[in-house]
Every structure is written in structure tokens, then in C-alpha cells.
Copies of this chain bind each other. A is one copy, B any other.
Amino acid sequence: MLEITNLSHTYGSGPSAHNALGGINLKVAQGELVCIVGPSGCGKSTLLRSIAGLLRPSGGQVTLNGAQVEQTPDNLAVVFQDYSRSLFPWMSVVDNVSLPLRRKGMDKRQRGQAAMEALEEVGLDGAAAKYPWQLSGGMQQRVSIARALAYRPALLLMDEPFGSVDAQTREDLEDLTLRVRNLHNMTIVLITHDIDESVYVGDRVVVLSKAPAGIVGDLRVDLPGPRDQITTREHPDFVHLRAEVGRLVRGMRSPSPSTS
């Protein structure tokens, strides 16, 4: 479904240029959930923005269902890393969630209902009438997740979507994502820093190296489904995979914070 060929990107030009992506090749099949992990600043968000057509890469190309991505493709949703700035402060929470649903040809009532359902699923039905700036960080993040899930996109891109919530909510949101994916056969690319999470939710885990980002590992996660927070995490394959991913990420790290 999604095919990335030789994708590279350089920010700026001249001596201050920064080569963020150095020729990435990646195929994602329909209905697959691919997790991307890699050190901070390696180029994960850049990759995601290229897939979303928000950034014109310096080289290579992204094709989606055979067509090259030039503009932002249809039927796509993104949960941005900087979620608080991606919510519109002049709209209430429920309006923020229902806004994209206009494209789905729903009428006002349907939109409101779908938005309320999505908010309920992330545990925010009580905050529907509030404005984003009246919410805590984690609640804002959940609004942007609800917005993306309510949209039921064919391709969902998530950039560290569960970073600001507590452990229990995080697990619930992981399960919610898996459930929605299965129900609607979505393709998902999810960036995360949590190696356990990447193995738990992913069908595949792709490990990126430090700048310029390249793929240093692409592990298939063959855990028995349906996944479960307790049994899956205790599964020997899980423990093995997570150690493997950990090793890959660690090995690829570049100038580490000084440990003097």
C-alpha cells in the first residue's frame, strides 16, 4: 500500500544544511501497523511528514496505492508530535474532533455523535464542550488521537501519540488503536520511543539510525493475537524481540549525553 523508495531529505542549504534522511526504502502492506523507533532527532518526524505530503523531500519518492504522493493524500490522518499546537484554540474539543468528519459526508448530527463516541473512547466525554487550552497536556493529546480515530482514515500516521499520558491510559489507548485498526482495516505508521510499546502494538518494528537516518533493523513481530497487555508482554517472543530492538537502538546511538 505504502512504498517509500530512496527517500532523502536535507534541511536548509550551504554550510548549515542538515541531512536528516539518507535514502530510506520501506514498504508497508495494507492493514499493517508499523512502528518506527530511533534516537531523538534522527529524522522520524521528517519521514512522517514526507509520507503525509507535508514536506517535499529532497530526493526519492513516496507512493501510496501506486500513486506518487505530491499533495497530502486523501483519507489520511496524523497525530502530530506537537499535538497542542495542532488543536484549534478557537474551537471546542468536540468541534475540533468533528471538523474533519465534514469530508465524510456526514451531517451535523452524525458528526457530533461520531465525535462524542471517539471522545468517550479516549475518556474525554466530559470535556467535549471545553476548549483545548482548558485541558491538561495529556488530555490535549487524547483529543488529537480521538480526532484521528474518529476520522477512520485508510492510512494513520502517529508521532509519539501516547507520550503524555499515564501508564494505564497509555495501555488503554494502545488497545484502542489496535481495536480500531482491526475493525476498519487501517494501515498505521506509529513513531514511538517506548520499545515495549513498539513490540506490543506493531506488526513490524523499523529501527532508524542517527542522522542521516537509515534503516538499521526491520523486525517482524509474530506474536499470537489478539494481543493482551498481560499475556502478550509475558510471551517469550515479546521479551526476546524487545531485547533485540533495544540492542539495535542502543547500537545505533551517536554521541551520547556525556556520562562523565
Contact = CB atoms under 8 A, between A and B. Distances in A.
A40 B164 contact: yes
B166 A163 contact: no
Interface string A198-218: 000000000000000000000
A238 to B, nearest CB: 16
Contacts of A257: 121-123, 169, 172-173, 176
Interface in A92-116: none
Contact of A167 (B130, B136, B246): B246
A37 B193 contact: no
A18 B253 CA distance: 44
B168 A250 contact: yes
B38 A166 contact: yes
A41 B167 contact: no
A166 to B, nearest CB: 5
Interface stretch (A26-34, A66-74, A78-86): A78-86
A250 B167 CA distance: 9
Nearest to A245: B167
A254 B253 CA distance: 39
A210 B46 CA distance: 36
Given A40-B165, A123-B258, 6 more contacts: A12-B134, A40-B139, A41-B138, A81-B164, A82-B84, A123-B256
Interface of A: 11-12, 16, 18, 37-45, 81-82, 84-85, 120-123, 126, 129-130, 134-139, 142, 159-160, 163-170, 172-173, 175-176, 193-195, 246, 249-250, 253, 255-259
